[in-house]
Structure 1
């Protein structure tokens, strides 16, 4: 597990005074403002965040060190990370996406299906992208019925995919 978790991304400039349109990946979008300084992926920059009002596809926000529209626009696409110690602990049946990536996926008989390479959400629920050696990638719905067991301590997921899903 990494010491930082991606909690949002800058979608571009908002207005002419250096505000950004911030896309929050948090369950409660406004929570992104309470995680202390947010860092770029490489850790080279950090920003304090002052949230504004909700805007289409995100929140308006002021970031420390960003004072012009051009500076805000230059940050478009930048992913923002919070220290794991700043995030709330989760109930036993919830997981941070970052913790699932890299886990080995086994079927209920113990056969290795692959490794989680990404967690996707296109609006209808989470999907695990499973990298299967020699077979290409597959998408697995991340539901209790299809994924009954996630064992972070042992680094594995037990899956019971519907017949024909991974063929």
Structure 2
């Protein structure tokens, strides 16, 4: 069973060991339940046990049994939180590791390039695509534009609106 990234710890918040996190899961309520134990990268900073989880505006805030003050929270900055890939099933969810290297084709079958990254954004994720002719395009990872992801077949099918592939060219 492979571990997947579910969050990356940011800066401390307050004096009681809370930290902000950048969420990399569609189901934070399940992944960050009180008592959940998460592996870490680097491994020597964990495992970490969730003591508390809350939202502050649009920001996810976590507290861990292993960090009770600001100094402990600061020591966790930059730590990646990991969970087993199948611990919580996420429908229609793909991890960056699943997508990297997949061939990107249009609905008409034209080869566009290759997936080189997945950028986590507040409004929507973006597929980073290295274009066949050089440069990079950023494709909104939404069903209307990315109607098919075929990991087993090694491809992602896109239906880009006119001009989208030219927007991000280097």
Which TM bucket (shorter chain)? 0.7 to 0.9
Task: Please name the residue that 2:81 is paired with.
Answer: 80
Once the two structures are superposed, residues 120-160 of structure 1 have per-residue CA deviations (whole angstroms, 9 ceiling, x without a partner) of 24333222110225511111122333222211221211122
**Tell me, what secondary structure is at the counterpart of 1:166?**
helix
Task: Please name the residue that 2:145 is paired with.
Answer: 146
Partner Cα distance (1:85, 1:28) in 2: 12
Native 8 Å contact 2:27 2:90 kept in 1: no
Once the two structures are superposed, residues 14-48 of structure 1 have per-residue CA deviations (whole angstroms, 9 ceiling, x without a partner) of 22232323343333433222494212234443211
Task: Please name the residue that 1:122 is paired with.
Answer: 121
Task: Please name the residue that 1:54 is paired with.
Answer: 55
Structure 1 alignment gaps of length 5 or more? none
Q: CA deviation at 1:62?
A: 2.5
Q: CA deviation at 1:52?
A: 4.0
TM-score by length of 1: 0.79
Once the two structures are superposed, residues 30-78 of structure 1 have per-residue CA deviations (whole angstroms, 9 ceiling, x without a partner) of 3222494212234443211122443244344332322331121122232
Task: Please name the residue that 1:70 is paired with.
Answer: 71
CA distance 1:41–1:148, change in 2 (3 Å): same
Query: When the two structures are aligned, how many residues end up with a matched partner?
Result: 163
The alignment's C-alpha RMSD in Å is 2.6
**Following superposition of structure 1 onto structure 2, how do residues 90-105 of structure 1 map, counting pairs within 5 Å?**
90=91, 94-98=92-96, 99-105=98-104
**Following superposition of structure 1 onto structure 2, how do residues 151-162 of structure 1 map, counting pairs within 5 Å?**
151-162=150-161
**Tell me, what secondary structure is at the counterpart of 1:85?**
coil
Bigger mean CA offset, 147-156 vs 56-65: 56-65
TM-score by length of 2: 0.78
Partner Cα distance (1:57, 1:74) in 2: 24
Bigger mean CA offset, 28-37 vs 112-121: 28-37
Partner Cα distance (1:82, 1:46) in 2: 10
Bigger mean CA offset, 122-131 vs 58-67: 58-67
